[in-house]
Amino acid sequence: MCDVGYRIWHRGYCAGNEGNHSVRISDDRVLCTPTGVSKGFLAPDQITVVDMDGNQIDKKNKMKRTSEVLLHLQIYKARSDIRSVVHSHPPHATAFAMANIPIPEGIHPEAEVFLGKVPMAAYATPSYKELGESVLTVMNQETNTVMLGNHGAVCFDSTLMGAYYKLEILDAYCRILLLTIGLGQINQLTPRQMYDLLEVKAKFGMPDARIKTAMEGGIGKENHGYLKAFPQKKKK
């Protein structure tokens, strides 16, 4: 928990006391980061323990659990396969959330394999149960990353490192996307290339329902918001 917190802080995915992460350790117990502490300076005795209703169990701990643990708990309750949640504000990805531009699809192989489709949840006030509700409305059994409108991102996995890696991949991908705008062009994968890529993904044990519409060009239809940012070529 502390090591991942340092990685998140060191990579600049959170500032000040931002962000939070958790690990589900049993059916009714979750370890989570405390409120008011930089994720780069966490100590083991600061990690808190809560039940599935958000009640802090370790009463002797002077630290209070993060107020956003309710988001984590709603995700855990929705998917029994998820054992860890990481929420932070990676700057390149958060730029897409603030612009309300969906994360583009059908461009980068690694993003397609490790992230898949990344939905955008409507803005909801942080620390309120509505934030988790907005996430649940857009996620399904294949989702591992959700953008939070005007807020940041939340990633989840069966392990803490797996959830952290998704956060890292997400921000790296978004940084690349923003760099391509400066180059003035982007090359999107063809339907055939996407189909073949998702077949490879399935062989890795990560089935992706989008393969059903890949050959029909169904992937990348929501990319128009991102593509609009490219310099428009003047007509002769």
The pLDDT tens digits of the residues spanning 38-77 come to 999 999 999 999 999 999 999 999 999 999 999 999 999 9
Going by pLDDT thresholds of 50, 70 and 90, the confidence category of residue 232 is confident
**Selection from 148, 128, 138 nearest residue 68 by Cα:** 128
Supply the pLDDT for residue 144. 98
Supply the pLDDT for residue 235. 58
pLDDT tens, 90-112?
999 999 999 999 999 999 999 99
Residues 6 or more apart in contact with residue 46 via CB below 8 angstroms? 33, 34, 37, 61, 63
Catalytic-role residue among 18, 68, 133, 142: 68
Average pLDDT for residues 172-187, to the nearest whole number?
Answer: 97
Average pLDDT for residues 199-212, to the nearest whole number?
Answer: 96
CA 179 to chain centre: 20
Q: Are 219 and 207 in contact (CB under 8 A)?
A: no
pLDDT tens, 3-12?
999 999 999 9
Three-state DSSP class for residue 133: helix
Share of the chain above pLDDT 70, in %: 98
Going by pLDDT thresholds of 50, 70 and 90, the confidence category of residue 128 is confident
C-alpha–C-alpha distance, residues 27 and 29, integer Å? 6
What is the residue extent of each domain of the chain? Answer: 2-227
Greater confidence, 178 or 129?
Answer: 178
Q: Are 104 and 119 in contact (CB under 8 A)?
A: no
- The overall average pLDDT reported for the chain is 96
Active site annotation includes 68: yes
Q: 2-227 in CATH: which number? A: 3.40.225.10
Going by pLDDT thresholds of 50, 70 and 90, the confidence category of residue 234 is low
C-alpha–C-alpha distance, residues 76 and 99, integer Å? 28
- Stated pTM of the model: 0.95
C-alpha–C-alpha distance, residues 118 and 223, integer Å? 12
Going by pLDDT thresholds of 50, 70 and 90, the confidence category of residue 233 is low
Going by pLDDT thresholds of 50, 70 and 90, the confidence category of residue 127 is confident
